[in-house]
Amino acid sequence: MPIAPPATPALLDVSEVSKSFGSVAVLRSVSLQVTRGEVVTVIGPSGSGKTTLLRCVNFLESYDSGSIRIDGREVGFRETGTRQRRSERDLAKMRAETGMVFQSFNLFPHLTAAGNIMLGLRKVRGKSSTEARAIAEHWLGRVGLAHKADSLPAELSGGQQQRVGIARAVAMEPKILLLDEITSALDPELVGEVLEVVRSLAEDGMTMVMVTHEMAFARDASSRIIFMADGGVSAAGPPAEILGAEIENERLRSFLARFRASHF
Amino acid sequence: MGYTLNFNLIWRHFDKLWGGLLLSLELAVISIAIGILIGLLLAVWYVSAGRAVRTVIAAYVEFIRNVPLILLVYLVFYGLPTVVDIAYSAQTSFIATLSLYSGAYLVEVFRSGLEAVPRGQLDAGKAIGLTPWQRLVHVRLPTMLRITLPALSNTFLSLFKDTSVASVISVPELTYGAQWINFNTFRIVEVYLVVTAMYLLTGYALLFALRLVERRFRAAH
């Protein structure tokens, strides 16, 4: 009897990834599969390795062992079995397949909102200036900033900058979007407008992995929640299970208790 | 003390001063252009290279910074041609010296500028799939230039003043023009008053123009 292929092959397959900074282990054999269209939220105390994990997925950080595959292709290393780092050129190509939104926005300060979005479209995707401009305007419209196309980042509020950051990432049509605490640097009244954009992307079926402290949003918007502690996956499951009333995992319970105490 | 100021002889030879001023500006502009090129290349090389290259670049910077400019001018104009079989005019020799001189200062300016570009911006460049070269050209250099622009205009201003050193090898720039008039008319107070005013006014004009440019760029920061 032939072996049936898995029903939904993972779009992102993180397999037993470990990483140390010096003698400090930040990731301990982390495994995580994300299928197309899923929204996976990673929560956990600071220092638990959430951000590092995300940065390994697009190889902004290298890792010591294990493998990370997107659509079956190893991200940072050549597929020769020798763990040889890919060339910078290949890494750039691989990274273009993922989008990333940063906690501190990281917009290019010398380029307008549209210019920020157009840079990758032109230099990486090879679009003409006219095409890139049209795509940039489309996405600025999607994030509610059509009227800010020619504004420089310094002229935008934090929430607006972050929405440009999201537009810059999704305009590249990545296979997967990585969101690294994207509302943590925002004033509370600006958080909503950014999360609204993320929600609409989720409804469009964008595959996302996000690190966040917005528990309410995580519960509503994600299909799965991963709880990380001490560099490992401590608990994983649907939101109702992870954030529900009956939690057996001791660390998760104390994390949530501490979180609730500090937020209410 | 019966000295009466008489500027007539100065005005009669004013073409020496005017031509000298233009040459001073020309020397400064050409030298800073070459200096920027040297500075950029070495700074980019420095931040991406290993220890050996860094040591060599640092040695160049330290050498230039610790030797008086006038000595460098003598070394290149009188010293070098006696050791190596090359010939060049005083003017070419001075441009070469001032370029190497400003280059050394600008390596430092650009290096610290490159290192001051926030890592997050470089990460963002990586994340959208830019190659290292594209990140340098489209992300790192534009931000670095904005950071270093004030230091760059300061360097240009001191370079403009430093062109006066060229008079010691008889390059007919502004200070040389002043000396020429002095030798031929003995109107020492008048000529140096006029020349001081010319340096001052030109310096202020340059400063004003450069600050305008800086302000335009700062708006984008």
* A45 is a domain residue: no
Most confident of A11-20, A184-193, A231-240: A11-20
What total of structural domains would you count in chain A?
1
Q: State the DSSP H helix or E strand holding residue B148, giving kind and residue range, or none if neither.
A: helix B141-162
Q: Residue A95 gets which letter from DSSP?
A: H
Asked if B142's CB is within 8 angstroms of A124's CB, the reply is: no
Among candidates A92, A100, A104 on the partner chain, residue whose Cβ is nearest the Cβ of B130: A92
Q: Give the three-class secondary structure for A40.
A: strand
Whether the per-residue pLDDT at A5 is higher than 60: the answer is no
B120 contacts chain A (CB < 8 A): yes
Report if residue A27 sits inside a domain: no
How far apart, in whole angstroms, are the C-alpha atoms of residue A204 and residue A207?
A: 9
What is the torsional sign of CA A94, A96, A102, A107? positive
Beta strands A65-70 and A73-74, pairing class? antiparallel
Is the per-residue pLDDT at A264 higher than 70? Answer: no
Consecutive H or E run containing B195: helix B188-218
Q: Is residue A148 part of a domain?
A: yes
Token output for B196: 């001081």
Closest Cα of chain B to A151: distance in Å? 10
User: Is A96 within 8 Å of A120 (Cβ atoms)?
Assistant: yes
- Residue A263 within a domain: no
Neighbours of A103 (CB within 10 A): 18
Q: How many CB atoms sit inside 10 A of residue B45's CB? A: 15
ipTM: 0.90
Could you tell me the pTM of the whole model?
0.85
User: Has residue A203 been placed in a domain?
Assistant: no
**Chain B residues 141-170 with CB within 8 Å of chain A:** 142-143, 146
Question: Do the domain assignments include residue A115?
Answer: yes
The shortest C-alpha distance from A259 to chain B (Å) reads 28
Question: Quick one: residue B52, left, alpha or beta (phi over 0 = left, psi -120 to 50 = alpha)?
Answer: alpha
Question: A116 in a domain, yes or no?
Answer: yes
A156 domain residue, yes or no: yes
User: Is B128's Cβ below 8 Å from some Cβ in A?
Assistant: yes
- For chain B, which domains are there? 8-218 (1.10.3720.10)
Residues of B with CB below 8 A from A100's CB?
A: 123-124, 127
* Burial class of residue A223, CB neighbours in 10 A (0-12, 13-18, 19+): middle
- Closest Cα of chain A to B160: distance in Å? 29
Considering only CB atoms, B132 lies closest to which of A88, A165, A172, namely A88
Q: For the purposes of burial, counting CB atoms within 10 Å of the CB of A56, is it exposed (0-12), middle (13-18) or buried (19 or more)?
A: buried
Question: What tens-digit pLDDT sequence spans chain B (221 residues)?
Answer: 677 887 887 788 888 889 999 999 999 999 999 999 999 999 999 998 889 999 999 999 999 999 999 999 999 999 888 888 888 899 999 999 999 999 999 999 999 999 999 999 999 999 999 999 999 999 999 999 988 999 999 999 999 999 999 999 988 988 988 888 888 888 888 888 989 999 999 999 999 999 998 888 766 55
Q: How far apart are CA A68 and CA A56, in angstroms?
A: 8
B121, A108: Cβ pair inside 8 Å? Answer: yes
Name the residue range of residue A119's domain: 98-173
